[in-house]
Amino acid sequence: MLYRNISPRPRKSRSNTSSVRSISPQLVIINRDQNDALRRDVEEIVINFVNAREKGYNFVSVADCITKTIDKQIHEPNLIFYWLLNNQNTVQYITLLGFFYFQDINQSIGQENKRKGFHLFLTAAKMDYSIAQDLVADCYCFGHGTPKNPDLSFEWYQKATHNGSIDGEFGLGYCYDMGIGVKSNLIKAIQHYKNSSKKENRSAMFLLAQCYDLGLGVEKDYEQAINLYKKAIEHGNTDAYHHESRNPSPTPKLSKSRNASPTPKISKSRSQSPLRPHSRSQSPLRPHSRSQSPLRPHSRSQSPLLSLHSSLSRCTSPMSSSVCSSISREESDAIKRIVDEIADKFIELKDKGHLDEKITKFIYEIIISNDREPFQIYDWLSSNQNTVQHITLLGYFYLDSIGTNEDLKKSFNCFLTASKKDYPIAQDFLADCYNFGLGTIKNEELCFQWYNKAYEGGSINAEYELGECYKSGFGSKERNVKIALEHFKNSAKKGNISSMYWMGWCHEKGIGTDRDLNVSINWYKKALKNGNLMAQNSLDKLQYKLNKSIQTSSNPSSSEDEGDENVDNESSSPQNQKENSIVIPKHLDESEK
């Protein structure tokens, strides 16, 4: 079956090292064996998807799980996406396609397709698929792809629980806890938390621990609370780290002058904070979305309870608020060393052309390995804006909501400030902002100008981006593939993995240079070795074409010209399409020529 001519929008996913600004509408054939292999791989993704959801992973963590599975299978997300699009014959496939839309795992769809994701969830939910029902309930609870509706959210959590969804039961407990679509009832909430916690839902473990910790609906039991925090940590809930590290002693009494009670009173406005540790209200729409990541502890500004614990951990005495206004010289110096380590890795990864999600992952790994929390680094950066490196790093923290809430406007202003001081890394990020409309209005001309300034200042990644601009004519007023190739070549030699990929592509297609498949293969291999997984797909297809060409040339009944034609067109005959294949848009290594 032929797909309609589907061409994803250009450059929708920011800093995607292997993305293209426009996708060629050419088609490629997938034969029956390849289709069967894809089906097996999709089944593996479905299993991991369901397991992650039922264990209480947030949307980011689930998307990360899917992406890792695809990477392990050495597939491009778009390939799985188009296969799902053509195989909507089970509730599992319908739901998974909805999640691809919802999280933009396809990397080119765009935020407006949350609505498509919701409608696919709803379709599968009406067929009594519990995972989809849980997702629909989340959407109604937090207004994703549809207006908020507490009553419908509660109803769908009930249906999901009735049909066996573990995370659905956690959601039902959350509704009783917060009074969402039903009268608040902590006794029922705790019962649902206990049930889903026993079935290894890490979010339920965390919230049940908080109930024992604070005496919410149960008698205080610090030993039980600590045990549950530890279990939550073992199952990957990073929110529990801070609580588990506390001594199991009664909640400290605060100064009377602060009018605080020994047990913090948590209001019903908690719907975005302590009782939803995986904060679906901020679920991201892109694989490298600037929302909560699986490594990211809960944001202080969204959680009264965590704010209390954070403030206590930062003060030498909980009685004294003045101590919290500053940190010791030794602590400041220690954090500065961490910031310097982050800054070095930050620059290295950016210039090598890695995705923001990988940059953010390394930042969290550095922070966690130094026994610090993201908000501590953010606070220090906010108070130490005396270098362009610190200004730029603070901008990135706002961009990817590290230790603070996402604020694209503040992020843009930080990049602009550092850019005006001729810092090339900031100029590269500023160009990204104009490219994708992050904190400012999209502007192709300014995007091109800032990439050019960053390149002139020595940014390796900016030279790759400049090559992209010339390749497609984006903001450069003219399309010049030879100039593009020169920029790709220069930045590839300096270690940029995106440029390595495009060097392989240009030599494979003969774009801006003579066609040379040996050179192409070498560049693809370099790109793959350095972390560009898309190069694997190009290598596989190129090897297939070469093998096919050898087979054809050894056939005496075929002329050389006919053989070349057969390499690209043999499998696209109507008979073969009908009997052995499905057809998907060719997006893995094709761009505007």
Task: Report d(CA 498, CA 508) in Å as an integer.
Answer: 15
Per-residue pLDDT, averaged over 565-572, amounts to 38
**Six-digit token pair at 592?**
């505007």
Short-list 267, 229, 269, 266, CA closest to 246: 229
As a whole number of angstroms, the distance between CA 442 and CA 437 comes to 4
Q: Is the pLDDT assigned to residue 461 strictly greater than 70?
A: yes
| Residue entry with tokens 């419908």 | 152
* 365 in a structural domain: no
pLDDT of 354: 80
Q: Say what the pLDDT of residue 554 is.
A: 66
The pLDDT of 168-178, averaged and rounded, is 92
51: three-class secondary structure by DSSP: helix
The pLDDT tens digits of the residues spanning 484-538 come to 889 999 888 999 988 898 888 888 888 888 888 888 888 888 888 887 777 787 8
Tens digit of pLDDT for each residue in 12-33? Answer: 344 343 333 333 333 445 567 7
Given this model, what pLDDT does residue 557 score?
52
pLDDT of residue 555: 64
Query: Residue 278: is its pLDDT beyond 80?
Result: no
Determine the structural domain holding residue 512 and report its residue range. 480-540
Contact, 123 vs 107, CB < 8 A?
no
Residue 77 — very low, low, confident or very high, per pLDDT cuts 50/70/90?
low
CB 153 within 8 A of CB 181: yes
* The pLDDT of residue 4: 29
Q: Is residue 534 part of a domain?
A: yes
Beta strand 581-585 with 27-31: parallel, antiparallel or unpaired? antiparallel
Cβ(523)–Cβ(503) under 8 Å? yes
Pick 281 or 97 by higher pLDDT: 97
| AA letter at 474 | F
Whether the CB-CB separation of 49 and 96 falls below 8 Å is answered with: yes
Residue 518, in any domain of the structure: yes
Determine, yes or no, domain membership for 506: yes
pLDDT score for 114: 83
What integer is the mean pLDDT of 566-589?
37
Q: Is residue 484 part of a domain?
A: yes
Q: What is the pLDDT of residue 236?
A: 73
Q: Encode pLDDT of 220-237 as tens digits.
A: 888 888 888 888 888 776
Report CA 190 to chain centroid distance, whole Å. 32
Mean pLDDT of the chain: 74
Predicted confidence at residue 329, as pLDDT, reads 85
Q: Is residue 154 part of a domain?
A: no
- pLDDT on residue 76: 65
- Which among 447-456, 468-477, 532-541 has the top mean pLDDT? 447-456
Q: Is residue 494 part of a domain?
A: yes
CATH of the domain at 497: 1.25.40.10
Please indicate, yes or no, if residue 530 is contained in any of the structural domains. Answer: yes
pLDDT score of 574: 36
How far is 480 from 467, CA to CA, in rounded Å? 9
Residues with Cβ within 8 Å of 438's Cβ and at least 6 positions away in sequence, in order, are 14, 399, 408, 411, 412, 432
The answer, yes or no, to whether residue 242 has pLDDT greater than 70, is: no
Question: Closest Cα to residue 127, out of 99, 155, 89?
Answer: 89
How many domains does the chain fold into? Answer: 1
Q: 48-64 burial, b for 16+ CB within 10 Å, e for fewer?
A: ebbebbbbbbbbbbbbb
pLDDT at 173 over 50: yes
Is the distance from CB of 94 to CB of 81 less than 8 angstroms?
no
> Is the confidence at residue 341, as pLDDT, over 80?
yes
User: Confidence class of residue 239 from pLDDT cuts 50, 70 and 90?
Assistant: low
Pairwise pLDDT comparison (67 vs 78), residue with the higher score: 67
Q: Is the pLDDT of residue 41 over 80?
A: yes
Q: What is the pTM of this model?
A: 0.44
pLDDT tens readout for residues 130-158:
999 999 999 999 888 889 899 999 999 99
pLDDT tens profile 80-101: 888 888 889 899 999 999 998 8
